Amino acid sequence: MMDKGTEERNYIMRNDMFQATEIPYAYRRVFQQLSGLSIIRIENNIGHKPIFQNRFVTHQKISHNVNVIETTTSQKLAHEIMGRNFFGIKDGVKHFGIIPSEHQLDLVAEIKYSESRLERCQDTHYLVAVPLLSVLGIHNKVEHRLFFSSECSTFDNELFASNSGDIYSWQLLRKTEVAGSLGMIFTEQQKLLHEDEEIPSARVVVYSIISNFLKTGERLFEKIFVRTSDSCDLGCDNHVCVGLFDAGGLCIECIPDNDDKPDIGLASCIIS
């Protein structure tokens, strides 16, 4: 029997496989809505091979009491500066049911970004406490409608999807793509990064997008993809791209590094 306050949602999908020629990113959902299938496109040098694969998924969302977690002076100051662009430890408990250990709380007690840095980034960046949670873990902790047709199930065997990270940490993610990075291949996009910037992992970007939406209703990267630092387990150069977060849900794609379509930018975060 489930504990009080636990909600269970079951999703039963079809299993199928389909191969087709190139499907433009913006039109993938139209195809999915007509077919009733989930689609994940894995590209290689030969062409585009959409693979449809879904499975039975049970989702549990558990409510926890956040009052036992103390907000430090550093966190309070950062919250005051960042305003709605702040997602802290208590927010993670409330929206994801994540209860950090005492050791993890110690790791994020102090925010290493300076006050002046946060003031410069308060409108352009999103300050988020990212827990030890993988892309698949994030997917399993929220309503699956937030992801495009529960397509994360197709990433079960990808290393990036099961990577939970090494440490509970604060991340300062740019809320838009790196300026000028749209429509460029990956090597050219990297040249646009400043010295104090790095490319975030897929799990950081996914957690930031979903957490921001749950707290504010704002959709980051609603009409574009952004490349992350993670690579796909394929035989050619492909980086994990995240985005197109419209009403159809968040998309996660493995896209070749030499793809210069106009809706593919680069994600970035500030190095602490």
Q: Which pLDDT does position 54 carry in this prediction?
A: 33
Give mean pLDDT, residues 78-100.
94
Position 226 confidence tier, pLDDT thresholds 50, 70, 90: very high
Give mean pLDDT, residues 171-198.
97
For residue 42 the two structure tokens come to: 């894995």
Q: Which pLDDT does position 67 carry in this prediction?
A: 59
Residue with tokens 């002076």: 73
For the stretch 169-180, pLDDT in tens is 999 999 999 999
Position 200 confidence tier, pLDDT thresholds 50, 70, 90: very high
Q: At what angle do helices 89-96 and 202-216 cross, to 10 degrees?
A: 80
Cα gap 157→137, rounded to integer Å:
14
Of 125, 134, 71, 63, which is closest to residue 99 (Cα–Cα)?
63
Contacts of 52 (CB under 8 A, 6+ apart): 14, 15, 16, 17, 18, 37, 38, 39, 40
Q: Which pLDDT does position 117 carry in this prediction?
A: 97
251 pairs with which residues across the strands?
243
Higher pLDDT among residues 243 and 51, named by residue: 243
Least confident piece of the model among 96-105, 153-162, 202-211, 247-256:
153-162
